Amino acid sequence: MFSIIQAAGWPIWALLATSVVALALVIDRLAALRRSRVLPAGLLNRVLVEYNQHGFPPEALRTLATGSPLGQVLSAGIRNRNATRASMREAIEEEGRAVAHDLTRFVGALATIAAIAPLMGLFGTVVGMIEIFGAQSPAGANPQQLAHGISVALYNTAFGLIIAIPAMIFSRYFRAVVEGHVVELERQSAKLVNVLQVDRRSRSTEIMAADAPGGLQAGSPVAGRVGP
């Protein structure tokens, strides 16, 4: 391997540094975009059970918001549970945009690496071609310098493509994964909005019935929930 690096000349070091950065970004996104981390299974059901039983105290809400991207979006809806449907959806969408931005972090950098790696390889090719022409002299070509220039040109071109192709594949893959996660976040947040709005209308009906002349009829279902 070291002999290949020597044959590729000094331009290869920039490509090697770029490949290390690309590998680090791929590993980071593979870990960050796992479905179990972004969309924990059964979280929405657990949130609804907690809300029905305890009304979601502030401590539980903070824990939910920091636990996962889905929890972050759901917590925005619960914090605005007493607002109108439009206001609640607006708060969720605002939080969702922040979550989507976090999920796409470094994906653009990976796409940039995929775009510039072939150019860096092309730069190495130009350097190699310069060495090839420099090997020419009136007395004849220097075979050793000529061979080194050819190796510099070919190795840098190959390394640039070797870096760019996987980087492009992973950047497109990560974008598709993020889009899928965002769709699922929207679907689950819409379910939460529907449940919270139904609960809000139910509580409003109970309060209006309790304030009405004569109050609630004893033994009615609503009276049982409101109490004496």
| Tens of pLDDT, residue by residue, the chain (228 residues) | 667 777 777 888 999 999 999 999 999 999 999 999 999 999 999 988 888 887 778 888 899 999 999 999 999 999 888 888 888 899 999 999 999 999 999 999 999 999 999 999 999 888 888 877 776 666 666 677 777 788 888 889 999 999 999 999 999 999 999 999 999 999 999 999 888 887 666 655 655 555 555 544 444 443 433 333
Question: Residue 38: its pLDDT value, please?
Answer: 95
Question: Residue 203: its pLDDT value, please?
Answer: 59
Question: Residue 227: its pLDDT value, please?
Answer: 38
CA 137 → CA 125, 131, 141, 148, 151, distances in Å?
Answer: 21, 12, 6, 16, 20
Indicate the pTM of the whole model.
Answer: 0.79
Question: Residue 224: its pLDDT value, please?
Answer: 39
Pick from 87, 78, 84: nearest CA to 50:
78
Question: Residue 1: its pLDDT value, please?
Answer: 64
Question: Residue 209: its pLDDT value, please?
Answer: 58
Question: Residue 108: its pLDDT value, please?
Answer: 94
Question: Residue 168: its pLDDT value, please?
Answer: 97
- The structural domains of the chain, with segments of one domain joined by +, span 2-226
CA 24 → CA 19, 87, 175, 206, distances in Å?
Answer: 9, 40, 17, 56
Decide if 109 contacts 18 (C-beta within 8 A).
no
